[in-house]
Amino acid sequence: MTTITSPLTDESIRKLVAGELVLLNGIVYTGRDAAHKRMVELLDAGIALPFDADSQTIYYTGPCPAPPGRVIGSAGPTTSLRMDAYSLPLIEAGLKVMIGKGSRNEAVVDAIKEYCGLYLSAIGGAGALMAQCIIEAVVVAFDDLGPEAVYKLKVREMPLVVAIDYKGNSVYN
């Protein structure tokens, strides 16, 4: 099994093939519906994002609160298609990798091909297992959104499947 580290380089992205199981280490930002809406509004207004998205990875999750003694609660993936409407401006702003679950629309697949991007799938419903792979979690933006705030996560050996590779091949086809 391949181990990869985020932020990912183009070189490491090009080695990955749809359907392959990988273990992810490194830095990942969370963001789901409400955070995406705000990020795109900021970009539209020409305002910098509250974190530098360049070369980064976004994980579509809204975690449970951290119980005492833990860094985070359950944190599995949410359905990616709701983020399709917001993904293009973020990819154009430098976002490289998206983590979620379920298929993406054609525009997102085209952007992945054009910008050498990558779409990884976490195992839908495996929130407790994912939480075990998160070793640090800090809110970096939109604190008022509660579970939809943007967290900066440090992950260790998070099991993911290459769902859409940089050539646009999909595990869902």
Partner 1 sequence: MSTNIRVIRSEHIAETIAKLCIEANMDISQDIYDALSQAAAKETSQLARTVLDMLLENAKIAAQERLPICQDTGMVVVFVNIGTELHVQGNIGEAINEGVRMGYGAGYMRNSIVGDPIERVNTGDNTPCVIYYDFVSGDKLEIIVAPKGFGSENMSAIRMLSPSDGLDGMERFILETVRNAGANPCPPVIVGVGVGGTMDKAAVLSKQALLRKIGTSHPEPFWANFESRLLILVNDMGIGPAGFGGKTTSLGVHINTYPTHIAGLPVAVNIGCHATRHKSAVI
Catalytically active residues are 36
Binders of partner 1 among residues 14 to 53 (CB under 8 A) are 19, 21, 34
Interaction with partner 1 in 85-104: which residues (CB under 8 A)? 101-103
**Is residue 71 a contact point for partner 1 (CB under 8 A)?**
no
**Residue (7 or 102) nearer to partner 1, CB:** 102
For residue 77, what is the DSSP state? Answer: P
> Site map for partner 1, 106-125, x if CB under 8 A?
---------------x-xxx
Instruction: Enter the tokens of residue 26.
Output: 């490194």
Whether the Cβ atoms of residue 75 and residue 64 lie closer than 8 Å to each other:
yes
Which of 65, 103, 72 lies closest to 87, judged by CA? Answer: 103
Q: Considering beta carbons, is residue 48 or 139 the nearer one to partner 1?
A: 139
Identify the residue among 107, 128, 138, 139 touching partner 1 (CB under 8 A).
Answer: 128
Q: Which is nearer to partner 1, 90 or 158 (CB)?
A: 158
User: What DSSP line would sit under 22-48, residue for residue?
Assistant: EEEEEEEEE--HHHHHHHHHHHHTTPP
Residue 81 sits in the site that holds partner 1 (CB under 8 A): yes
Nearer to partner 1, 49 or 149 (CB): 149
∠ Cα 50 54 56 (to 5°)? 90
Question: Which residue spans within the chain are E strands per DSSP?
Answer: 2-6, 21-30, 57-59, 97-100, 118-121, 134-141, 150-164
Binding site for partner 1 (CB under 8 A): 19, 21, 34, 61-67, 73-76, 78-79, 81, 101-103, 121, 123-129, 131-132, 145-147, 159, 161, 171-172
